[in-house]
Structure 1
């Protein structure tokens, strides 16, 4: 398809039809004018900064009418598209001819879900979850600042992303080699050696050709689920990159290669970003609540003989029991995941047979991940909805405990210091399971940066909407897309 030149403010009939649908959706009172309040909600979906949106409004509303008509709305949307493509915005753009490809309708996060068909007309479970999130769950999260305390808001790319497998371990345990072994080749940016070679987080995913993309670039890609990583700052993003290559396995799964977990404080501080923990046990502690997603691989097992392997395996299981703190036995896969042939002299015939079976089991487990992706997404969505409800109860309870006029600072300090007791009150009042409550220490740490008096009171209608979603709408959604012959 050939591309031509066009001016900002003019568009094809196809684009005009899209803009008309967006305009009608945004114009809440139907008067043919988009005012500041309507624009603030709608334009925030572009994920542009406030100064950029201010400039877009100023250029589009060149007559200073205080509103956008349909023609001005088209201009604003095309300016948003140009800003997303990295162009510098100036008023001269209205007079300049620009490549048609750069003034196509912009990416508006979540808009397709909002203007889509009603819930009873969605065409997949994931589309239904997106719509339920935008309509029912996100308003509750936004009102009670769930994104600041627990987890960032979900985007469309979070729902559409392929399952991810992250590899954690000390340096030179074979994490990068493991990915190479599964893919049958090196990925762009892979470094393998006995010293700590991987010094950054590398997302290995499917792409049309082999290339590496810097972290700051992929963090602003609307179609990639990494926008939440911007909260870790530029130091982290400079040590984060995406490695793309065409591969059938990557069409189903995305791998995340990580730096080796260092054991010393001095080594950790020399990294230009704060890696979450100093050692592997602390990393595993931070994964509590996600035990069902953890798989343990005892790699390079062919480097020891059978007797030594039994001792290493026993020591590993004992250590895992202390770290994971669960009565269930963690599944440990034993093998040597590299392109080199097995050291049969050390492993022996029994070891060789064991390693082959263990590798087959692990590969079967990995291949099974995409099959369970939809079920896992539903499970995580329901967990998030329950966590958001409990968070709303906690925030509104703290607000209720604040005095109306005098002594607010002392009351806030008392509530923060006695957070465990306040959690207990919420649990008893609303009959909630204690295990579903957040970490007291983490909650207190975030709470210290807020004025409790500014929090919202409990809004029963919002809670009821989430209850209806969990009790009726999600079961109906699953029922609609079950096997028609059941």
Structure 2
């Protein structure tokens, strides 16, 4: 650890990770999973700075694996292009564009990471023509860092929104997998087939419910968790749950954001409560208007609320019919063993239909 007389460090903790290996050095074992450790710190950080050397812009396999682990936190990621004073204006533009393109390929979000250009060394700038650009980017970066303590609350709200969006994806995936399972027999074979086709199922669910690709979990980790699960215990898609998530995203989160930003208090001090009531009513109308443009999973109807109950009732009716057929066959053939087998399978199926679903946990 380094100790320096910087007042900023009283409010901000800076964590410097070990250097990323490249070339033949990548074969050297660290003794731990460097990418996973980087993700652990990223989950608990407010800002992530990726430092690039303009003379060594190639992204090694280890560095790429670290960046891929940062995908769920791409809104925190900012890039710093160091030693940029070694390049002329034309070369600097090419390097900047190449870095921007590389980041765009790794991060799947709509916005690319911000890139700060400069010479962050204790040495004079080699090319004075870059001084204005470097000082401007440095000032923006320092302002970004100095505002981290104030932005901590907003970051927590953003993290909550991320968790809500992932919860929506999880609910839709579980319900979709449950809908693909047979009611009575052949469940193990069907589950194995669904796990093998998980990538195609991700695409199908994303298109069906109009979900964002960045909200989906990692394919390999999710597949590993599903192998240890029983799909028949999953809950069907509950429109009431999705409705609750909708209210959180469209109504509760904006209210909390306004409180954190101090909007409500400032307006009350200015004596605009009456106007606020009118604006609030208009805001509710906007929410209702936005509901018409929501993804398909949030477009509810009275029929949707009864779908799960109707499916369970249908399954029970089919099971009773099968039981009567089994009784008839057993009485004709005088085969009590066959009747017992039918009874056990029927009992197991009904238990699966009424069993409370167990939560699935994946890292």
What TM-score does the superposition give when structure 2 sets the normalisation length?
A: 0.54
**Alpha-carbon contact 1:335-1:359 (below 8 Å) kept:** yes
Within the alignment, does 1:485 sit opposite 2:244 as a pair? no
User: Residues 316 and 281 from structure 1, CA distance in 2 versus in 1: closer, same or farther, beyond 3 angstroms?
Assistant: farther
User: Residues 296 and 477 from structure 1, CA distance in 2 versus in 1: closer, same or farther, beyond 3 angstroms?
Assistant: closer
Partner of 1:315: 95
Partners of 2:98 and 2:220 in 1: CA distance: 28
Deviation by residue 1:24-51 (Cα, 9 ceiling, x = unmatched): xxxxxxxxxxxxxxxxxxxxxxxxxxxx
Report the Cα offset of residue 379 of structure 1: 2.2
User: Residues 299 and 430 from structure 1, CA distance in 2 versus in 1: closer, same or farther, beyond 3 angstroms?
Assistant: closer
Residue segments in structure 2 that go unaligned for 5+ positions in a row: 36-59, 268-363
Within the alignment, does 1:388 sit opposite 2:167 as a pair? yes
Partner of 2:18: 259
Partner of 1:335: 118
Report the Cα offset of residue 410 of structure 1: 0.8
Report the Cα offset of residue 478 of structure 1: 4.0
Partners of 2:154 and 2:99 in 1: CA distance: 31
Report the Cα offset of residue 352 of structure 1: 4.6
Which structure carries more helix by proportion?
A: 2
Partner of 1:470: 249
How do 1:77-476 and structure 2 match up within 5 A? 184=4, 248-264=7-23, 267-276=26-35, 278-288=61-71, 290-301=73-84, 304=86, 306-307=87-88, 311=91, 314-325=94-105, 330-338=113-121, 340=122, 342-343=123-124, 347-427=126-206, 430-433=209-212, 436-476=215-255
**Alpha-carbon contact 1:261-1:278 (below 8 Å) kept:** no
**Alpha-carbon contact 1:285-1:323 (below 8 Å) kept:** no
User: Residues 361 and 464 from structure 1, CA distance in 2 versus in 1: closer, same or farther, beyond 3 angstroms?
Assistant: closer
Matched residue count: 238
User: Residues 358 and 477 from structure 1, CA distance in 2 versus in 1: closer, same or farther, beyond 3 angstroms?
Assistant: closer
User: Residues 397 and 275 from structure 1, CA distance in 2 versus in 1: closer, same or farther, beyond 3 angstroms?
Assistant: same
Query: Which entry has the higher C-alpha Rg, 1 or 2?
Result: 2
Partners of 2:137 and 2:213 in 1: CA distance: 38
Partners of 2:10 and 2:101 in 1: CA distance: 35
